[in-house]
Structure 1
Amino acid sequence: MSDNKGPIGVFDSGYGGLTVFKEIVKELPEYDYLYLGDNARVPYGTRSFETVYKYTWECVQHLFQMGCRLVILACNTASAKALRSIQQNDIPNLPDLRRVLGVIRPTAEVVGELTKTRNVGVLATQGTVSSDSYVLEIGKFFPDIHVVQEACPMWVPLVENNEFNSEGADYFLQKNLKSVLGKAPNIDALILACTHYPLLIQKLKQFLPEHVQVISQGELVAASLKDYLQRHPEIEALCSKGGNSEFYTTESTESFNEKAAIFLGHKVLSKHLPL
């Protein structure tokens, strides 16, 4: 990458960020990308704020070292538990221009346009729910919206084990949907606040009333990134354009390649990044 330019980094604790990565590449195919999954230390969703911050910042620094000047945390847990600390405490101390963005704000900024009843549900990991990040962020933009949350601990393993079309998946999906809708009967929008969950979207629609909209983050984050690059030409100028994508994992490349195909719909050849 000449002229100090580099690929756009996309980070996730595992595979879920690939649903965001896929939409970003679709929206902005001209750029180079480097995806890193910290599969060796997944899951992040049940870990403490301190641990998630430590792991996330380590991986972001690796992406910086590999040439990325802009990194997207395509992980709700990392966005909820680590992004603010990285933006406020770490980035200002770096010798050159770097930026790290998350997935929560792009969703919170537009949710007001997607609900008429002003009752919104958030489906997420326990870590994201415990952080209250969506409640706080949506409240900044739309104080009139009532937000309820539901932790769905079984959904990630169902997706990663390719069991999301099974009858067992139906049980857990229906259980969590019944719970979240019971917390606010007027909900008309459900945010899939975990990047694994878009693989469940067709199933979810089968179990939901027609008036309830399911909000997937990938397209929202991609549109937000496009807007960000237009508004920040100094960052855009640091992003290389070759239409290339590379994939790294902190765990087994064989396992990553196999499961990544579930999320992307095509094969990838990843490289191992030892931490």
Structure 2
Amino acid sequence: MKQAIGVIDSGVGGLTVAHELMRQLPKEKLIYLGDTSRCPYGPRSKEEVQQFTWEMVNFLLEKDIKMLVVACNTATAFALQSLKENLNIPVIGVIQPGSRAAIKFTKTNHVGIIGTEGTVRSNAYTNALKNIKDELEVSALACPMFVPMVEQGILEGQQAREVVEDTLSPLLQYSKMDTLILGCTHYPLLKNTIQSVVGEEITIISSSEETARETSTILDVHHLLNKDDYYPVHQFYTTGDLEIFIEISRSIFKEPHLQMVTIEQANLHQLQDS
């Protein structure tokens, strides 16, 4: 069996990254784990996020992955460095790729960031942006209502729009941004609603495409790209409600992609004992 790329997230949001990986790397097998039973990670302490992240990683390491993609901004902010230092496989997060994309698109040097409480609290995006381009003006806003709404499958409609409008009003009132980073992989599922609220003049950046592009480059550098005529069946795991996970997967993976995926319940006991 070909070695797979492991992808972890606090819930369903990382499926947006997985979808882009499947599109850009069609010969690479993915093993995805979404910790939906303990989502959201945003309000949790750094120590909790690190513990949960390592439990997910240990679950995937047992499946002999060749690379790890941390498709969760909060986990990237709090655990990426530890993972890089302690794992003997390549590891990538979503913050650096998203930051580089925002810098490429902004014309006014005003960049907005929306994310979970943990991601915003960590200043990971602000630091990443300013390390590349110090003169940027960065406005960050935590959006704690977004992840629970996405996990419930509320992506469009009046309720979604009212929550997005109310949440983003402080950012829109005081920021002169022309570029907005969706600093949580759940948020691209709300992209249409967010775009309609912020207006077409603001460029919305999702890190999914950039992360997939960087994953491809890293695999190539480490001579890990699969070049055989091999089109895999991907394995997706969730620690929570299987039906909701499958329903949201359908909204992301249109046919024929969903036919290439098996979705199973992860063994929580195994996760917690890892």
**Fold in common (TM above 0.5):** yes
Of residues 131, 142, 163, the one that matches 1:172 is 163
Asked if the contact 1:32/1:241 (under 8 Å) is kept, the reply is no
1:230 is the counterpart of 2:223: no
Q: What are the Cα deviations for residues 225-261 of structure 1, in whole angstroms up to 9, with x where unaligned?
A: 122222332x447999543211112223333223322
1:146 is the counterpart of 2:143: no
Of residues 243, 265, 271, the one that matches 2:264 is 271
Q: What are the Cα deviations for residues 184-221 of structure 1, in whole angstroms up to 9, with x where unaligned?
A: 2x210000111111121112222223321111121111
Asked if the contact 1:31/1:240 (under 8 Å) is kept, the reply is no
Which residue does the alignment assign to 2:71?
A: 74
Structure-to-structure mapping, 1:86-235, within 5 angstroms: 86-88=83-85, 90-91=86-87, 97-184=88-175, 186-233=176-223, 235=224
Using the TM superposition, give the Cα deviation of residue 14 of structure 1 relative to its aligned residue in structure 2, in angstroms.
0.7
SS at match of 1:144: coil
Residues in 1 aligned to 2:178 and 2:34: alpha-carbon distance in whole angstroms: 33
Which residue does the alignment assign to 1:18?
A: 15
SS at match of 2:185: coil
Residues in 1 aligned to 2:101 and 2:248: alpha-carbon distance in whole angstroms: 31
5+ residue gaps, structure 1: 92-96
Give TM-score, length-normalised by structure 1: 0.89
Give TM-score, length-normalised by structure 2: 0.89
Structure 1 letter corresponding to 2:81: R
Which residue does the alignment assign to 2:247?
A: 258
Which residue does the alignment assign to 1:246?
A: 235
Aligned in 2, Cα 1:22/1:237: closer, same or farther, shift over 3 Å?
A: closer
Asked if the contact 2:233/2:262 (under 8 Å) is kept, the reply is no
Asked if the contact 2:216/2:225 (under 8 Å) is kept, the reply is no
1:43 is the counterpart of 2:40: yes
Residues in 2 aligned to 1:128 and 1:205: alpha-carbon distance in whole angstroms: 21
Using the TM superposition, give the Cα deviation of residue 159 of structure 1 relative to its aligned residue in structure 2, in angstroms.
1.8
Asked if the contact 1:7/1:239 (under 8 Å) is kept, the reply is no
5+ residue gaps, structure 2: none
Structure 2 letter corresponding to 1:183: Y
Using the TM superposition, give the Cα deviation of residue 166 of structure 1 relative to its aligned residue in structure 2, in angstroms.
2.5
Residues in 2 aligned to 1:253 and 1:150: alpha-carbon distance in whole angstroms: 31
Aligned in 2, Cα 1:255/1:183: closer, same or farther, shift over 3 Å?
A: same
Residues in 1 aligned to 2:50 and 2:228: alpha-carbon distance in whole angstroms: 25
